[in-house]
Amino acid sequence: MIPRYSTPEMDAVWSEPTRFGRWLEVELLATEGHAAIGVVPAEAAAACRAGAPVADDAFVQRITEREAITDHDVAAFVDVVQDAIGAPAGSWIHYGLTSSDVGDTALCWAMRDAADLLIEASTELLATLVEMARSHRDTVMIGRTHGIHAEPTTFGTKVALWAMQVDRDRRRLRAARETVAVMKLSGAVGTYSNIPPEVEEFVGAALGLTPVPATQVVARDRHAEFLYACASVAATCELIAVELRHLQRTEVREVQEGFKPGQKGSSAMPHKRNPISAETISGLARVVRSNLLAGLQDVALWHERDISHSSVERVILPDSSQLAFYMMRRLRRLVAGLVVLPERMRANLDASHGLVFSQPVLLALVQNGSTRDDAYRIVQRNAMRAWDDGVDFRSLLEADDEVDNAVLDDAFDLGRSLQNVGRIFDQLDTLTVR
């Protein structure tokens, strides 16, 4: 991932020293697991642990140099580790293992740690949204369908629905974490032909990963589920970002992104105050979604394995988790610093001459004895004139001989339109924010 969208926390999960450090720990634990059942001498396993190299940049460099000769990263790694430990103890490194035993176990370990960060970020975002929803529970605004005024709602209601979706994403992340927190040390085609299952169990217990049946590789539907959880997060972030972009348009201007001292919105136009965070989030969502397709294509491999998935995963797994984490962090900052303009929201609601009460009027006329088709025709006729001529909708209805004015007070009551908003907040209150 390019530095612009990287975070220190997720960088640490996917860095090269961390990756090779995980490989090293898997190898050492496997040696100790063999020692526990008497296959490897106990003193040899202890010597491997004591003589193991430090997983730092110099270690990575030695592996890279060796890979230029072996043209195989795990083989190069094993050579470097064995050389560092020395014979005879070092010869027990990688005993009975195949490359995917080490690489897949370490990769699942990385995905589990990445999922933990994503769950934490989703929880922080959820808490911020819940707080904003509650603070704007009664901030009246116009709801829009197809971009056109529909009926009144509140800004808090809108944000509450976002919060519920983020909570669903958090559940998906937790499920994906469970799915990928697995491992395998079952050998070349997964039959334990050269490594006892007890060693796999020993390593899994030490790492907190669950051993699962596998071919030579862990099934890639697990990785695809992790990528789906990341893509779902990205889609939710974009949903919120697109709405905030629309609400910030000059013609709407119901919210504004925070604008810090010294910030510039345009190199050419000093007046510009653009929704740059929301636009960035919308753009990055496209990348994460596209990575999901590649992850799904990785599920089908030849026979017990091939490596067509490997090159793809080196890109999409770090990038998707990094971007999902970055997007949630940036969206949280955006929401926390958002400027909400209630007066403008109310002005926009009133700008359509009362047309937002057309459905309550329709229903009131039906309750008063009109057929639905007749009531619809009466309301639509007056609504079109109100819009075309820019006159007050209620005044036109009051002058219409086919309308009983007695039904209009309740139909045009804003409180009636919003009387059941509390039901949404009752549901919001059931969420476990932390």
* CA pair distance 299, 353, nearest whole angstrom: 56
Contact 36, 22 (CB under 8 A): no
3-class SS of residue 340? strand
Give the distance, in angstroms, between the CA of residue 178 and the centroid of all CA atoms in the same chain.
16
* CA pair distance 209, 351, nearest whole angstrom: 59
Catalytic residues: 146, 266
Residue 317 carries which side chain, given as an amino acid letter?
Answer: L
* CA pair distance 200, 198, nearest whole angstrom: 5
Token digits for 251? 């013609």
Contact 220, 195 (CB under 8 A): no
The phi, psi pair for 147, rounded to 5°, reads: 80, 5
DSSP 372-418: HHHHHHHHHHHHHHHHHHT--HHHHHHT-TTS-GGGHHHHT-HHHHT
DSSP 90-113: GGGTTTT--HHHHHHHHHHHHHHH
DSSP 226-270: HHHHHHHHHHHHHHHHHHHHHHHSTTT-SEE----TT--S-SS-T
